[in-house]
C-alpha cells in the first residue's frame, strides 16, 4: 500500500440537527483511485465535499472530527481555504466550463495565482490539455468558446482546468454520469492515466465504473461507512451483507 494522502478521523457532519455523516474514519492512499459508492442520500457526496471544505459554503453545517492531508489538519483555523482548494481540485457531474475560450478556461486558475507571462501560460495550457487527453482535439481552436465542445470534451476541459493549478488531489463527483459511453470511456481512461500523478477520489452511482476505475472502494449507507477495501475484494467477496446487497442490486 502506498503512503496515506488523506487521513479522516471520526468525521461527523450535521446539516442543522440532521446528521449526514456519522463518525467516518478512513485512510485514502496517495496516487490511487478511491471510489465512494452508496445509494442517494447516503452521505458520499457530503463526505467528498468535506475534503476540500466545500460544505463550509452551506449554511447551518457543523463538522466534527479531523481531516488530515499529509500533515495538515484542513479544518484547523489557520488553514487558508483558497489554498486548500488549489491543492484539492474538483470535477462535477455536469461539466461547467466558463463562457470563455478553451485557452482562457485553462489559463484562468494560473492567472489568478499570479502567472502572467504568456509563454508560461501557453506551456501550462498545452500541458494541462495534454494530460487531460484533449489536446489533439482542440489544439487548432484554442480560442474558440469552450461551450461549443461536446459534453465529453467539456468535461475533459474541466479536468484540464483543474490540472492547470497543479493539485495533489482530484475529487470527482459522478464525472461521467451525464456522458455517452464513448465519452465515459475517455474519462475513465483519463482517470487511469492521471492516478500516476494525482490522488483521485470519485463518487459514482455506476457500479461498473467504480469496479473499472478504482483501486479501493468505500461503501456508504445512511451516513455510515459500511465497508472499505480493495475494489477487487468489494466486487468479488465483500465482507458485509449490506455491501453485497447493494452492489448486486438487491437493496430495499
CB of 212 to another protein, least distance (A): 11
CB of 210 to another protein, least distance (A): 10
SS3 100: coil
CB of 234 to another protein, least distance (A): 8
Q: How far apart are CA 205 and CA 43, in angstroms?
A: 13
Q: Angle at which helices 102-112 and 151-163 pack, to 10 degrees? A: 20
Please return the burial class of 37, using the count of CB atoms within 10 Å of its CB with bins 0-12, 13-18 and 19+.
buried
Q: How far apart are CA 120 and CA 68, in angstroms?
A: 32
**C-beta of residue 44 within 8 angstroms of C-beta of residue 225:** no
Q: In this complex, which beta carbon is closest to another protein, that of residue 114 or of residue 252?
A: 252
CB of 207 to another protein, least distance (A): 7
Q: In this complex, which beta carbon is closest to another protein, that of residue 131 or of residue 214?
A: 214
Name the residues that contact another protein, by CB under 8 A.
207-208, 211, 235-238, 244, 247-250
Q: In this complex, which beta carbon is closest to another protein, that of residue 47 or of residue 235?
A: 235
Q: In this complex, which beta carbon is closest to another protein, that of residue 62 or of residue 232?
A: 232
Q: How far apart are CA 210 and CA 53, in angstroms?
A: 24
CB of 229 to another protein, least distance (A): 12
CB of 216 to another protein, least distance (A): 16
CB of 151 to another protein, least distance (A): 24
Q: How far apart are CA 223 and CA 226, in angstroms?
A: 9
Q: In this complex, which beta carbon is closest to another protein, that of residue 119 or of residue 236?
A: 236
Q: How far apart are CA 109 and CA 164, in angstroms?
A: 7
Q: In this complex, which beta carbon is closest to another protein, that of residue 60 or of residue 236?
A: 236
Q: In this complex, which beta carbon is closest to another protein, that of residue 150 or of residue 242?
A: 242
DSSP state of 148: G
Q: Which of 36, 48, 101 is nearest to 246 (CA)?
A: 36
Cα dihedral 33→37→42→44 (10° resolution): 20
Amino acid at each position: 500500500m502506498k503512503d496515506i494522502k488523506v487521513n479522516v478521523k471520526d468525521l461527523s457532519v450535521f446539516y442543522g440537527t440532521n446528521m449526514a455523516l456519522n463518525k467516518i474514519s478512513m485512510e485514502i492512499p496517495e496516487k490511487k483511485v478511491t471510489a465512494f459508492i452508496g445509494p442517494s442520500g447516503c452521505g458520499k457526496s457530503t463526505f467528498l465535499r468535506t475534503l476540500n471544505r466545500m460544505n463550509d459554503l452551506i449554511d447551518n453545517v457543523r463538522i466534527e472530527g479531523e481531516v488530515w492531508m499529509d500533515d495538515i489538519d484542513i479544518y484547523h483555523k489557520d488553514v487558508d481555504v483558497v489554498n486548500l482548494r488549489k491543492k484539492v481540485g474538483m470535477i462535477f457531474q455536469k461539466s461547467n466550463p466558463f463562457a470563455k475560450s478553451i485557452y482562457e478556461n485553462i489559463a484562468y486558475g494560473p492567472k489568478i495565482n499570479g502567472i502572467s507571462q504568456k509563454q508560461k501560460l501557453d506551456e501550462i495550457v498545452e500541458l494541462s490539455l495534454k494530460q487531460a487527453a484533449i489536446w489533439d482535439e482542440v489544439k487548432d481552436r484554442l480560442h474558440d468558446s469552450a461551450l461549443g465542445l461536446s459534453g465529453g470534451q467539456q468535461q475533459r476541459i474541466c479536468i484540464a482546468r483543474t490540472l492547470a493549478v497543479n493539485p495533489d488531489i482530484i475529487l470527482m463527483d459522478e464525472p461521467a454520469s451525464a456522458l455517452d459511453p464513448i465519452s465515459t470511456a475517455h474519462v475513465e481512461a483519463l482517470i487511469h492515466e492521471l492516478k500516476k500523478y494525482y490522488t483521485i477520489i470519485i463518487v459514482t452511482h455506476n457500479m461498473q465504473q467504480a469496479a473499472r476505475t478504482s483501486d479501493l472502494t468505500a461503501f456508504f449507507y445512511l451516513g455510515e461507512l459500511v465497508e472499505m477495501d480493495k475494489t477487487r475484494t468489494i466486487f468479488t467477496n465483500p465482507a458485509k451483507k449490506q455491501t453485497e446487497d447493494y452492489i448486486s442490486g438487491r437493496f430495499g
